[in-house]
Amino acid sequence: MKHSSGRVTAILGIGSALLAIMLFASTSAVAQDKAPAGKGPCIGCSTDGKTTPHTADGHPDLSGYWGGGGGGGNNTQQFERSNDGSILFDFSTSFNDRPLCKPDDETARCLDPNEPPYKPEYMSKVRAIAAKAYGGTTAADPQMDCKPLGVPRAGIGGIEIVQGPQTVAILYESAPYSLYRIIYTDGRPHPADLDTSYMGHSIGHWEGDTLVVDVAGLSDETWLGGGLGTLKYANLHSDKEHVIERWTRNGDDLTYEATVEDPVMFTKPWVITPRKVRHHGPSLTSNDGILEQRCTVNDKDHYITPSSEDSPHCNYRCGDAGK
């Protein structure tokens, strides 16, 4: 396993992000659909919440702030399952009357039954890690060392997308700190001598109204999921992980689909449960948008592991869905 970390790489990465932002800025005045009446200019906003805005080159405009949970799979309390089985993440007041999930609630409402298809020798390791998690938290989680969440764990909640004709920049608010990722849509392939990295190397193309992204070169120092998320047995993967993402916008909803391949640890590709998030601007009349986040490594010797005398429980608005 190799990591690229030189100053030249960092400068090139930052330059790519700035280039994407400049490209977007140069086309946004033309590409932006008319802002919703009475709301003033709004990046990537739909005119009515149902109509999908398009850029000057005819592709759906993914730009703007996509708010809500699910960024690191750490927002179990803020999702609901749609009739089609997909999961919608959102920090919306409409959730205020819905009871929260208990830490040990493994029903379909709180725990996604669609887990990665590990080979037996790796499933035993995954289960051993899960058994030591206290309310979804474990010192073994790479994010506890402030390592980037990787793909697909970084998710789609709490992100800002800056879309240009040749690149799409994804700015993550907390993954587990502020970072970015560049998707190249100019037709280039993956580098032949690709080093592994936490977020990998992303190249994309459009299939109709869906942005299809190929992610390779992912470090095995990240997890597939974890924390207080909807997946219990989704953590380990090898450095042979390969992900195909599909980003589809429909009005103010963004649907994220991903197929994860790992020939070392999986018996077959893992098609994750689709995830959805809502568009929240930003606009001149809204404060919605990503904030700068930092990550600090805590003293892991004080992390709690479950025992017969001490198990996690919920004291606030927990209970059955009907209560």
| pLDDT at residue 229 tops 50 | yes
| pLDDT at residue 246 tops 80 | yes
| pLDDT at residue 122 tops 50 | yes
| pLDDT at residue 88 tops 60 | no
Q: Shortest CA distance to 62 belongs to which of 288, 277, 259?
A: 277
CA–CA gap between residue 74 and residue 109 (Å, rounded): 15
If you average pLDDT over each of 21-25, 58-62, 307-311, 313-317, which comes out highest? 58-62
What pLDDT is stored for residue 323 in this prediction? Answer: 41
Report yes or no on whether pTM surpasses 0.85: no
CA–CA gap between residue 221 and residue 234 (Å, rounded): 14
Looking at per-residue pLDDT, the higher value among 70 and 165 belongs to 165
Looking at per-residue pLDDT, the higher value among 82 and 276 belongs to 276
| pLDDT at residue 18 tops 60 | no
Q: Shortest CA distance to 201 belongs to which of 212, 211, 189, 186?
A: 189
Could you tell me what percent of the chain has a pLDDT over 90?
Answer: 51
| pLDDT at residue 33 tops 80 | no
pLDDT level of residue 30 (50, 70, 90 thresholds):
very low
CA–CA gap between residue 270 and residue 267 (Å, rounded): 9
- 168-187 mean pLDDT: 96
CA–CA gap between residue 275 and residue 151 (Å, rounded): 14
Type of residue numbered 54 = H
For 262-291, the pLDDT digits (tens) are 999 999 999 999 999 999 888 766 677 888
CA–CA gap between residue 64 and residue 162 (Å, rounded): 7
- 206-210 mean pLDDT: 98
| pLDDT at residue 28 tops 60 | no
Which residues fall within 8 angstroms of residue 13, CB to CB, at 6 or more apart? Answer: 180, 182
CA–CA gap between residue 249 and residue 136 (Å, rounded): 31
- 14-23 mean pLDDT: 46
| pLDDT at residue 188 tops 60 | yes
- 302-320 mean pLDDT: 63
Cα of 62 vs its chain's centroid, Å: 15
What pLDDT is stored for residue 321 in this prediction? Answer: 43
pLDDT level of residue 300 (50, 70, 90 thresholds):
confident
pLDDT level of residue 166 (50, 70, 90 thresholds):
very high
